C-alpha cells in the first residue's frame, strides 16, 4: 500500500477508536502531520481518499468533518477495499481454481482475450453464504496466483505482494433469478431472486486487470451507497 493509503487507514481507525460521529471535526492538517509523522501532501492525499470513500467531508475555511457511517450489516456498493476489510467474520471457500480464457462479457470488460486465472469462491459472513464470486485475473498483469492466495485477500496480495496500485472500478448491476448451481451454493432455491454485479477493476494506469461476476444472497446481503463530496 502507498503511504497515503496507510495514513488514510490510520485516520479511519482514529475515527472509530475515538467514536467520532457525524459533524465531529478532525484534527488540523498540521496536527495530523505531527501525529503520523508525514508531510502535508501525504495527509492531503489521505483526506482525499477518505472523502472519496464517504468517510469525511471538507468545509472550506473550517476543516475536515466526519460523515455519517453506514448502518450495521450494510455494505457499501462503491467501496473497493475488498470483502475482507468490510465483512464481519468473513470466510472464503475456493470452489474452483484454474487457468482459461474469459468468456463474454468478461473478456469485453477486460479489453483482452488473453489467458486468465479463473477463481470461483463462496464468501460467507458469520457462517452464512453472502456472495458467489467468479473472477478472471489477467495473467500478463497478475503473473502468479495460487489457491492459497485466493483463500485470503487477493487485493492485498496484488497491492502488497505485486506492488500494484488498484484505483477504480466499473459496476453493472441487475436483479434476476438464481440458477440451480448458484442456489446450491447460496443455500437458496432455484428461481429465488438475486443481485448480480459485474465488477471490473483497474490499475492506476487505467488497465483493467480483474473482472468478476458476483451473485448476492438476497437474505444475507444489504447495501448502502454514499455520494462523493462534490458540489451537486
Residues 152 and 200 in one domain: yes
Tell me what pLDDT residue 86 has. 57
Domain assignment present for 229? no
Q: What is the DSSP string of the chain?
A: --HHHHHHHHHHHHHHHTT--TTPBPPPHHHHHHHHT--HHHHHHHHHHHHHTTSEEEETTTEEEEPPPPPTT-EESS--S-HHHHSSSEEEEEEEEEEEEPPTTHHHHHT--SEEEEEEEEEEETTEEEEEEEEEEETTTS----HHHHTS-HHHIIIIIS---EEEEEEEEEEEEPPHHHHHHHTS-TT-EEEEEEEEEEETTS-EEEEEEEEEETTT--EE----S---
Model pLDDT, residue 223: 83
Last residue of a domain, one of 66, 85, 108: 66
Q: Please report, for the domain that includes residue 33, its CATH number.
A: 1.10.10.10
Tell me, yes or no, whether 232 lies in a domain: no
Burial status of residue 206 (CB atoms within 10 A of its CB: 0-12, 13-18, 19 or more): exposed
Max CA pair span of the chain? 57
Position 232 scores a pLDDT of 42
- The reply to whether 100 and 213 lie within a common domain is yes
For residue 231, tell me if it sits in a domain: no
Is the bond leading into 20 cis (omega within 30 degrees of zero)?
no
User: Does residue 227 lie within any of the structural domains?
Assistant: no
The C-alpha atoms of residue 130 and residue 120 are separated, in whole angstroms, by 14
Note whether 91 and 206 are same-domain residues: yes
Domain that holds residue 53: 3-66
The pLDDT, as a whole number, for residue 2 is: 81
Q: What sign does the CA torsion over 8, 9, 10, 16 have?
A: positive
Q: Is residue 49 part of a domain?
A: yes
Q: Which segments in the chain show pLDDT lower than 70? A: 1, 70-73, 78-88, 226-232
State which of 66, 99, 119 marks the end of a domain: 66
Residue 136 sits in a domain whose CATH number is 3.40.1410.10
Instruction: Note whether residue 53 is domain-resident.
Output: yes
Q: Judge if 139 and 218 occupy the same domain.
A: yes
The pLDDT, as a whole number, for residue 81 is 58
The answer to whether residues 102 and 205 belong to one domain is yes
Cell 451507497, residue?
Answer: 225
- Whether residues 56 and 86 share a domain: the answer is no
86/108 same-domain check: yes
Pair 107, 197 in one domain: yes
At residue 74, the pLDDT reads 73
Residue finishing a domain among 41, 66, 91: 66
What integer pLDDT is reported at residue 180 of this predicted model? Answer: 98
Question: How many domains would you assign to the chain?
Answer: 2
Mark whether 84 and 168 lie in a shared domain: yes
Nearest to 167 by CA among 176, 175, 159: 159
Are residues 90 and 182 part of one domain? yes
Are residues 48 and 155 both part of a single domain? no
Same domain for 16 and 39? yes
Amino acid at each position: 500500500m502507498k503511504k497515503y493509503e496507510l495514513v488514510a487507514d490510520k485516520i479511519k481507525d482514529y475515527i472509530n477508536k475515538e467514536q467520532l460521529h457525524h459533524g465531529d471535526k478532525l484534527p488540523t492538517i498540521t496536527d495530523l502531520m505531527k501525529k503520523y509523522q508525514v508531510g502535508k501532501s501525504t495527509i492531503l492525499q489521505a483526506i482525499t481518499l477518505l472523502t472519496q470513500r464517504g468517510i469525511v467531508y471538507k468545509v472550506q475555511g473550517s476543516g475536515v468533518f466526519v460523515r455519517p457511517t453506514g448502518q450495521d450489516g450494510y455494505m457499501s456498493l462503491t467501496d473497493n477495499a475488498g470483502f475482507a476489510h468490510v465483512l464481519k467474520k468473513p470466510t472464503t471457500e475456493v470452489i474452483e481454481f484454474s487457468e482459461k480464457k474469459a468468456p463474454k462479457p468478461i473478456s469485453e470488460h477486460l479489453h483482452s482475450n488473453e489467458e486468465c486465472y479463473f477463481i470461483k469462491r463462496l464468501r460467507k459472513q458469520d457462517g452464512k453464504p453472502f456472495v458467489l464470486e467468479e473472477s478472471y485475473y489477467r495473467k500478463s498483469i497478475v503473473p502468479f496466483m495460487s489457491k492459497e492466495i485466493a483463500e485470503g485477500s487477493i487485493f492485498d496480495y496484488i497491492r502488497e505482494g505485486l506492488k500494484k496500485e488498484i484505483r477504480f472500478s466499473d459496476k453493472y448491476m441487475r436483479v434476476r433469478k438464481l440458477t440451480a448451481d448458484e442456489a446450491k451454493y447460496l443455500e437458496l432455491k432455484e428461481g429465488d431472486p438475486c443481485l448480480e454485479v459485474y465488477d471490473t477493476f483497474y490499475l492506476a494506469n487505467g488497465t483493467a486487470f480483474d473482472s468478476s461476476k458476483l451473485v448476492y444472497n438476497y437474505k444475507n446481503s444489504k447495501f448502502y451507497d454514499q455520494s462523493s463530496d462534490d458540489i451537486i
